[in-house]
Structures are given as structure tokens and as C-alpha cells.
Amino acid sequence: MSDNVIIFDTTLRDGEQALAASLSVREKLQIALALERLGVDVMEAGFPVSSPGDFESVRTIAENVKNSVVCGLSRAVAKDIDACGEALKVAERFRIHTFISTSTVHVESKLRRSFEDVLQMGVNAVKHAKKYTDDVEFSCEDAGRTPLDNLCRMVEAAIDAGATTVNIPDTVGYTIPSEFGGIITDLYNRVPNIDKAVISVHCHNDLGLAVANSISAVQAGARQIECTINGIGERAGNCSLEEVAMILNTRKDLTGVGTNINTQEIYKTSRLVSQLCNMPVQSNKAIVGANAFSHSSGIHQDGVLKNKSTYEIITPESIGKAENNLNMTSRSGRHVIKHRMSELGYTEADFNLDELYDSFLKLADRKGQVFDYDLEALLYFNQQQEEEQYYKLSYLNSVAGSAKVATAGITMTIGENEVEGAANGNGPVDAAYRAILNAVDLPIEIVDYKLGTKTGGEDAQGHANIIATYKGQRYHGFGLSTDIVEASAAALIHVLNLTHRADQVAEKKQAKNNK
């Protein structure tokens, strides 16, 4: 049996089914090329018969992807298979993946046929697909709830018909790992020709067990896992590619198998899929979540600073992420404050750690999270009060409409001076930002912008969260208002006041160095 697990990615097929709007051909190709760089063995590019757009996407991907096998999905119907063959024929290597339901509830309630009819349809579909390619995959939909005798018969018949891969899906995420692994074991024990095909698994996450079930199946002998980036997919999603790849990479000592995945492409691919699919990754998501390599506990931070392996079983660098995050919160200890000050270029002679830490705790209790520029402000100003409002926005008016260019006018004070500004933009927030930045004339660049709500209902408050750069430093700004444009403007004003304070710190540092 092979010691390598084939990674079959279905982000562009099963993953896309969960999206509010379909991806464009260009967006699908962008993801496909990222998957190719990631090193997926097979990518399911779509369901060609479903629409002209999906057909075109599959064909475009088949033309451009060279290192991964491009696959198209079809029902066990001749016209579906023909559409796959036509869309994929431009590829250097391609696979046709055909499926039919095998569970009793699906056969009787959805297909309204006998199992014997379904068995013959599956065999006919595989034989028809073989006219286009030798690489044919057959799936027993809802295999997790299929009577074992029927499942064994279907698998044996599909292999006899020419299927080179047979997929055992837990379509509704019903099984638990011991049960699902047991199904794979039983198939290996009872299907006489099973050595002539690769056994694949396709697990859904309805009970949160997609990854666990897939690993259990691999331990029982399966050698292909079907998965998606960030675990996106129907209902609660699919098995997460990044999770199974890192499990097999990290615990090869236990599983004895590996993959061809270039793990350093994981983080980049995750972010691309999240952005193009408009599906944010939850902060506590394993491997790629914002908190996956973040440490807030002082005990954990102390351990990581001494030896990363104390609290990190994988490194952020291994998935292509620059570094871990030591979040400075009221739970942080003195060690991380000392470390951050050292990273900022300060020696122990430049500050009293006990005094700085005491000030830090008071600020952290008030703010929640403290950043490097806050630490420096504490050092030079011992700033316990609210941040100085050197920049204040006193008036904002924005106008936008479907037939109009968005415009914004502002009045603000900079120190003791009142200034006005106006600008056009590609939306009301963009226009407001342009008006404010024109008025202050500072080299500030917005690099990240997020908008959410703090409450529900019609009077929900919009919460704007931005990251901006100024003189090589990143600044985090926050704004809250029932008007999202006002919330966004407030977040930028917050950043401006942080940059003013940073300039004051820089002046004091320079004065100190000149002494």
C-alpha cells in the first residue's frame, strides 16, 4: 500500500456550492493556479453540465493547469459525462468523477428506484466515462449510511467496470471516526478486487468530524482525501485541506503517510480563497485562523519566548506565515513586555520594567489589546489618560448613489487649526477617507479595512477596524457608529491620533539620543 495520500481538492466544486454568488471564470482560474502551486494532486474544477459558466470555467482551468490532474463531476448520466469529456479534453491529464446515491433513504426517496437499478446505472456510468479517459472515479453518495452489503457490491462492480478510484463519502457528516474507519476496513476485508483501485473519502462536517473521519479512514487504508481550502462547502462544510495536510505532515510518526502538499503555500492560498469567496476564516480556525499562532497568556508567552515548541506543535513559517503573535493584553506577563521593548531597540537601562508593566496593565484593562506604539507612549509619557485628540472630526457629509460619483466633505481640527476638505471616491467611505487624508497631507496608506456590527437590528452599530501604515509602522484604528461612514471615518481619525503620538515619541527619542 502506498505511503502517500492523494490530496483531491474540491474547493472549486463542492466549496463553491456554499457561496452566496458564483465565482467568475477569472476568479476560479486564480484559485486553480494557487491550488497548483500548493501541490494538490487532483483538483475538481466544477460540474460542467450544470451551466455554461461552469463548463467554461472547467475548460479554462483544464487549459491552464499543468501539474495537477483536473477533474470534472458528473451524475451517473450520459449527458453529464459527455459534458465532462468535452470540457476536459484540452487538459494534459484529466479525470471524470461520476456518482450515484447508494443509501436506502437516497435510493428510495430521492432516486425512487431499486438498488439493482442504481447498481447498473453506476456500472454504465463508469463504462461510459472510460470512453474519454482511463482515470475514472466513482462515488457512492451517502456511503456512510449505506448498508454494508450493498456498499461492498457497488464498490466491487464499479472497479470491475473500470473505476480506478472509488470514493466513500460521508455525505451528510453522520458517522464518527471509529465507525467510518470501520467501513473502510470492512471494504478492504470483503471486496475481492479492491486492490485494483484507490479508495478515497469525502467527509462533511455536520457534526464537526470531517477531518477526524478522514484521518481514521487513512489509518484504515484509504489513500485519497477529498477536501477544500478553509473547509468551505455545503452546510457546515467539508474536510479542511490545511488541517489534514498538517496532521499528516506533523504526525507521520503515527500515520506513516505523507502528502505532496507544499505546506508553505497554505496560508497564502487560504487568504486568497477567503477573499475571493467572501468567506472570512474564523479567528480560532486550526492552522490558518488569526489566533492559530497567537499567545495571550503570560505563561504561554514566557514558554514560547524560551522555546517555541513549548506551546507550538507547528511553526507559522511552515505554512508560509511570517511569525507568531504575542498579543499584549492584561493576561501578558513581564517577560513579553521586556521582549517587545527589546525588539523595539530598548535596553533594560532605558526603562524600569516594574513601572512600565504597572502602567501597561492599567492601559490593557482599558483598551483590551496594547500595541508596540502604546508601549513607547507609556515609556515617554506614562500615558494613563485617554489618547490625545490632536485630530478631531467635527463635520462629515457624504453623498453616494447608483448614478452619482460618491463625494464627501469634512471639517476637522488639527491642533488649534480648523481645516476643510472634499474629495470624490469610488464609494462614500473611500470619498471620506480621501477628503480626510487630503486635509492632513500625511503619507498614510490603508492596508486593511473590516466592517462589522456590534449589535443587531435596524439600529445596529457599525464597527470599523482598519490597519494603516505610516513611516513603516502599522497602526490599528477603531470606530463605532450607527452610520458606517462615520464609523469608518472615526477609525481613520483614531489612526491619525496614534501617528501624532508616535511622532512625539520619535522626537523624544531623538532628543534623548542627542544628549
Number of domains, the chain: 3
- 3-state SS assignment for residue 14: helix
| Maximum Cα–Cα distance across the chain | 92
Same domain, 199 and 169: yes
**H or E element that contains 328:** none
Give strand pairing partners of 95.
71
Tell me how far apart the alpha carbons of residues 408 and 393 are, in angstroms, rounded to a whole number: 13
The lowest-confidence range among 49-63, 68-82, 265-279, 455-469 is: 455-469
Residue 289, domain member (yes or no): no
pLDDT in tens, 455-493: 555 555 677 888 899 988 888 888 877 788 988 999 899
Same domain, 325 and 455: no
Same domain, 300 and 358: yes
> Would you say 14 and 210 are in contact if contact means Cβ atoms under 8 Å apart?
no
* CATH code of the domain covering residue 137: 3.20.20.70
Helix and strand totals (H; E) in the chain: 17, 16
**H or E element that contains 184:** helix 177-190
* CATH code of the domain covering residue 429: 3.30.160.270
* Other CB atoms within 10 Å distance of the CB of residue 67: 13
Same domain, 47 and 94: yes
From 320, 353, 381, the end of a domain falls on 381
Same domain, 414 and 478: yes
Give the pLDDT score at 506: 79
Same domain, 339 and 403: no
Give the pLDDT score at 383: 47
User: Does residue 323 have a pLDDT over 70?
Assistant: no
**H or E element that contains 408:** strand 404-414
User: Does residue 296 have a pLDDT over 70?
Assistant: no
> Would you say 424 and 431 are in contact if contact means Cβ atoms under 8 Å apart?
yes
Give the pLDDT score at 250: 94
Same domain, 109 and 59: yes
The boundaries of the domain holding residue 123 are 6-277
Same domain, 454 and 336: no
Sign of the four-CA dihedral 182, 184, 188, 190 = positive
Mean local confidence (pLDDT), 310-339: 75
Tell me how far apart the alpha carbons of residues 462 and 454 are, in angstroms, rounded to a whole number: 6
Mean pLDDT of the chain: 88
Closest CA to 42 of 52, 32, 54: 32
Give the pLDDT score at 376: 66
- 3-state SS assignment for residue 12: helix
What percentage of the chain exceeds 70 in pLDDT? Answer: 89
From 248, 277, 306, the end of a domain falls on 277
Same domain, 233 and 306: no
Residue 406, domain member (yes or no): yes
Give strand pairing partners of 413.
392, 418
Tell me how far apart the alpha carbons of residues 397 and 132 are, in angstroms, rounded to a whole number: 62
